[in-house]
Chain A
Amino acid sequence: MYDADVIVIGSGGGGAVAAKELGEAGLKVLVLEAGPFYGNKKWENPNSERGGEWSSSYDDLDVGIYKKIYTRYENNMNDVVSGTFRFGPADRRRTPWHRVMRQKGDIWQLAGVGGTTQHYWSQSPRAFPSAVDGVWPISYEELVPYYEKAEATLPVQFSPTAPKEELFYFAVQKAGWQKNPTLNVTKPGYRPNPNAILPPNPHLMDPKYPIDQLWNMDGCTMQGHCVNGCTAGSRVDTIAKRGTLVSYVPLALKTGNVAIRPNSFTIRILTEHDPKEGLRAAGVRFRDTWTGEIGELTAKAVVVAAGCIETPRLWFNSDLPFNSWVGRGLTNHCFDWVGGVFDEKDLMGIMGLPAVYPYMGHTSGARVDIPGIGIFQVSCLSPGLMAFLTYGFSEAGFDALKPPEPGAPWNIHGRVVGPALKELMMNYNRTMTYLLLTDDETLYRNRVEVDPILKDENGPIPVVHYVPSKKTLQRRDQLVKYSCESLKAAGAKAIIRSDTPFAFMLHLESTMRMGYVVDTNCEAYQVKRLFLADNSVHFNGIGGPNPTLTTQALATRTSEKLAQKYFA
Chain B
Amino acid sequence: MMQTPELYASRADPHTVATFRALVDAIVPYTPELAAYGAEQPIGAVQQHVHEYMIWSLDHTLTLVLDYYPEIVPLAAPTAGLLNAGAAQLVASGQAKYAAQGAIAGSPVPFAALSPADRIRTMAILEKLQIDLGLLPPPYRDDGGLVKFIIDYLNRGTMFGNYSEWPGYGTTRLNTPTRRRLEFFPIGWRQTGYPGVSKGYRAVRGILMTIVREGGKSTIV
Given that A158-B210, A384-B164 are known contacts, is A419 also in contact with B33, CB under 8 Å in the complex? yes
Shortest CB-to-CB span from B109 to chain A, Å, is 20
B residues 144-191 near A (Cβ < 8 Å) are 144-146, 148-149, 152-153, 155-166, 176-178, 180, 182, 188-189, 191
- Residue from the set A73, A155, A223 with the largest chain B CB neighbour count within 10 Å: A73
Q: Does the CB pair A95–B145 fall under 8 Å?
A: no
Of the candidates B44, B64, B148, the one whose C-beta lies within 8 Å of that of A455 is B64
Q: Does the CB pair B34–A83 fall under 8 Å?
A: no
Q: Does the CB pair B204–A204 fall under 8 Å?
A: yes
A residues 224-250 near B (Cβ < 8 Å) are 224-225, 228, 231-232
Q: Does the CB pair A158–B149 fall under 8 Å?
A: no
Shortest CB-to-CB span from B146 to chain A, Å, is 6
User: Which residue of chain A is the closest to B147 with respect to CB atoms?
Assistant: A102
Q: What is the bound-complex CA distance between A157 and B162, given in angstroms?
A: 36
Q: What's the tally of chain B residues with a CB closer than 8 Å to chain A?
A: 80
Given that A158-B210, A401-B124 are known contacts, is A163 also in contact with B197, CB under 8 Å in the complex? no
B residues 117-149 near A (Cβ < 8 Å) are 117, 120-121, 123-124, 127-128, 143-146, 148-149
B206: chain A residues within 8 A (beta carbon):
160-161, 166
- B103 contacts chain A at the CB level, 8 A cutoff: no
Stretch binding the partner chain, chosen from B4-12, B82-90, B211-219? B211-219
Shortest CB-to-CB span from A396 to chain B, Å, is 10
B192: chain A residues within 8 A (beta carbon):
383, 387, 425-426, 428-429
- As a 0/1 sequence over residues 140 to 180 of chain A, the CB contacts with chain B under 8 angstroms (1 = contact) are 00000100110110011110111101100100000000010
Q: What is the bound-complex CA distance between A102 and B139, given in angstroms?
A: 12
A401: chain B residues within 8 A (beta carbon):
120-121, 124
Q: Does the CB pair A419–B201 fall under 8 Å?
A: no
Given that A204-B202, A360-B201, A419-B31 are known contacts, is A152 also in contact with B213, CB under 8 Å in the complex? yes
User: Which residue of chain A is the closest to B180 with respect to CB atoms?
Assistant: A76
Q: Does the CB pair B194–A359 fall under 8 Å?
A: yes
Given that A71-B197, A158-B210, A428-B192 are known contacts, is A98 also in contact with B203, CB under 8 Å in the complex? no
- As a 0/1 sequence over residues 257 to 277 of chain A, the CB contacts with chain B under 8 angstroms (1 = contact) are 000000000000000000000
A82: chain B residues within 8 A (beta carbon):
57, 60, 177
A72: chain B residues within 8 A (beta carbon):
197-198
Q: Does the CB pair B63–A98 fall under 8 Å?
A: yes
- A340 contacts chain B at the CB level, 8 A cutoff: no
Stretch binding the partner chain, chosen from A22-30, A54-62, A207-215, A526-534? A207-215
Given that A102-B145, A158-B211 are known contacts, is A148 also in contact with B216, CB under 8 Å in the complex? yes
- B65 contacts chain A at the CB level, 8 A cutoff: yes
Shortest CB-to-CB span from B124 to chain A, Å, is 5
Q: Does the CB pair B159–A151 fall under 8 Å?
A: no
Q: Does the CB pair B152–A501 fall under 8 Å?
A: yes
Q: Does the CB pair A158–B207 fall under 8 Å?
A: yes
- B26 contacts chain A at the CB level, 8 A cutoff: yes
User: Which residue of chain B is the closest to A221 with respect to CB atoms?
Assistant: B200
Q: Does the CB pair B34–A166 fall under 8 Å?
A: no
- As a 0/1 sequence over residues 357 to 392 of chain A, the CB contacts with chain B under 8 angstroms (1 = contact) are 101110000100000000000000011111111011
- B78 contacts chain A at the CB level, 8 A cutoff: no
- As a 0/1 sequence over residues 104 to 123 of chain A, the CB contacts with chain B under 8 angstroms (1 = contact) are 11100000000000000000
Shortest CB-to-CB span from A114 to chain B, Å, is 19
A461: chain B residues within 8 A (beta carbon):
64
Q: What is the bound-complex CA distance between A75 and B145, given in angstroms?
A: 27
Q: What is the bound-complex CA distance between A155 and B211, given in angstroms?
A: 10
Of the candidates A97, A418, A426, the one whose C-beta lies within 8 Å of that of B41 is A426
- B72 contacts chain A at the CB level, 8 A cutoff: yes
Q: Does the CB pair B209–A181 fall under 8 Å?
A: yes
Q: What is the bound-complex CA distance between A107 and B14, given in angstroms?
A: 31
B159: chain A residues within 8 A (beta carbon):
384, 387-388, 391-392, 421
Q: Does the CB pair A151–B211 fall under 8 Å?
A: yes
Of the candidates A92, A200, A389, A394, the one whose C-beta lies within 8 Å of that of B204 is A200
- Residue from the set B124, B148, B159, B161 with the largest chain A CB neighbour count within 10 Å: B159
Q: Does the CB pair B199–A382 fall under 8 Å?
A: no
Q: Does the CB pair B202–A205 fall under 8 Å?
A: yes
Q: Does the CB pair A421–B152 fall under 8 Å?
A: no
User: Which residue of chain A is the closest to B63 with respect to CB atoms?
Assistant: A95
Q: What is the bound-complex CA distance between A401 and B205, given in angstroms?
A: 42
Q: Does the CB pair A359–B207 fall under 8 Å?
A: no
User: Which residue of chain A is the closest to B65 with respect to CB atoms?
Assistant: A455
Of the candidates B60, B120, B189, the one whose C-beta lies within 8 Å of that of A81 is B60
- B47 contacts chain A at the CB level, 8 A cutoff: no
User: Which residue of chain B is the closest to A400 with respect to CB atoms?
Assistant: B120
User: Which residue of chain A is the closest to B153 with respect to CB atoms?
Assistant: A106
Interface residues in chain A, defined as those with a beta carbon under 8 Å from any beta carbon in chain B: 45, 47-48, 71-76, 79, 81-84, 92-98, 101-106, 145, 148-149, 151-152, 155-158, 160-163, 165-166, 169, 179, 181-183, 191-192, 194, 200, 204-205, 207, 211-212, 214-215, 221-225, 228, 231-232, 351, 355, 357, 359-361, 366, 382-389, 391-394, 397-398, 400-401, 415, 417-419, 421-423, 425-426, 428-429, 454-457, 461, 501
A-B contact pairs, 5 of them (CB 8 A): A75-B161, A95-B61, A103-B145, A391-B159, A455-B65
Known: A223-B198, A351-B205, A425-B188. 15 other contacts (CB 8 A): A79-B166, A95-B61, A98-B64, A102-B149, A148-B217, A161-B206, A162-B201, A183-B211, A214-B200, A222-B203, A228-B197, A360-B203, A384-B188, A388-B163, A429-B192
Closest 10 A/B residue pairs (Cβ):
A102-B145, A384-B164, A221-B200, A392-B156, A428-B192, A75-B164, A215-B199, A388-B156, A72-B197, A392-B159
